[in-house]
Amino acid sequence: MSEPDYTPVPQHWDPERYARNARFVAQLGQPVVELLDPVAGERILDLGCGDGALTLALAERGVTVVGIDSSAEQIEAAVDSGLDAHVIDATDMPYQEEFDAVFSNAALHWIKNADAVIAGMWRALKPGGRVAAEMGGSGNVKQIREAILEALRRRDIDGSRLDPWYFPTPDAYKARLENAGFIVTHIELIERPTPLPNELQNWLDTFAEPFLSVVPEAERPAFKDEVAETLAPDLLQDDGTWVADYVRLRFRAEKPAGDAEAGAARA
């Protein structure tokens, strides 16, 4: 008998569901805005802008900001907020030396081809430009990921090949940035246990779609309850709040002012 076809669907972003279950992502993004240190008049690219909540915050600091995201639904929401935002694949960005800075919050961990994104950031930046970004880092949602994989294993599904997330160590990401020509001026891994606004099951719906998609629809509620039951002893607080085991990788890197060709040759 042939194996069932467990082809995952890619993650998709429903702006209404995102606003309900994931507003905290932008709310907790303030430290990376501070790391960026935007200066009024600068032209900044927000890579993976989603519905534009932080893009708006940057615009309010007096910069000209362009948002890009692979989700047409999220970009529609960003454009509805009055932003200059476009559906663009971050591994294939068209920009050439036109931005003073690239900003990114909670997007880079969705992109497995990190080198293609980094090469695109390099090309997009003017000489002397900078990147300030935060993403999931090594160990991010480790317990949640393990509970999902375990629940899939109980159904004879190998979830590791469905895994949509890339959570690098500081050393690994720093090496990629340096290989592209960047000078890394700051990189740190930060444990940030993160209270969720709703049940863990809502988080799974919002962020773990490729895993859920291989479970027959009728069985998904039971699947999510099973994952939640495994995690409750560690992640569910006495007051009923779920706290996700987030670990952030936050960094700032610079494109040297006089070395544009060296990096371009590497990219």
User: Could you give the C-alpha distances from 179 to 41, 118, 173, 182, 234, in angstroms and in order?
Assistant: 30, 10, 10, 7, 39
DSSP state, 81?
T
Question: Under rule CB under 6 A, how many of the chain's residues touch ligand BEZ?
Answer: 7
Binding mask 99-118 for ligand BEZ (x = CB under 6 A): -------x------------
Q: Which of 50, 136, 210, 263 binds ligand BEZ (CB under 6 A)?
A: 136
If the CB atoms of residues 122 and 207 are measured against ligand BEZ, the closer one turns out to be 207
If the CB atoms of residues 102 and 144 are measured against ligand BEZ, the closer one turns out to be 144
Residues 50-79 that bind ligand BEZ (CB under 6 A): none
User: Could you give the C-alpha distances from 200 to 50, 77, 148, 206, 222, in angstroms and in order?
Assistant: 21, 25, 12, 10, 13
Amino acid letter, 153: R
Tokens 């479970």 belong to residue: 215
Return the exposure string of 58-74: e unless at least 16 CB atoms fall within 10 Å of the residue's CB, then b. Answer: bbeeebebbbbbbbebb
User: Of the ranges 72-80, 82-90, 136-144, 176-184, which one interacts with ligand BEZ (CB under 6 A)?
Assistant: 136-144
If the CB atoms of residues 39 and 190 are measured against ligand BEZ, the closer one turns out to be 190
Q: Which of 44, 88, 119, 141 binds ligand BEZ (CB under 6 A)?
A: 141
Tokens 């047409």 belong to residue: 72
Residue 246 touching ligand BEZ (CB under 6 A): yes
If the CB atoms of residues 99 and 246 are measured against ligand BEZ, the closer one turns out to be 246
In the complex, residue closest to ligand BEZ by CB? 136
- Determine whether 226 is exposed, middle or buried from the number of CB atoms within 10 Å of its CB (0-12, 13-18, 19+): middle
If the CB atoms of residues 104 and 140 are measured against ligand BEZ, the closer one turns out to be 140
Q: Taking a C-beta distance cutoff of 8 angstroms, is the pair 165, 140 a contact?
A: yes
Q: Taking a C-beta distance cutoff of 8 angstroms, is the pair 215, 155 a contact?
A: yes
If the CB atoms of residues 127 and 197 are measured against ligand BEZ, the closer one turns out to be 197
Q: Which of 165, 236, 243, 267 binds ligand BEZ (CB under 6 A)?
A: 165
Tokens 């880092």 belong to residue: 137
**Residues found near ligand BEZ in the complex (CB under 6 A):** 106, 136, 140-141, 165, 207, 246
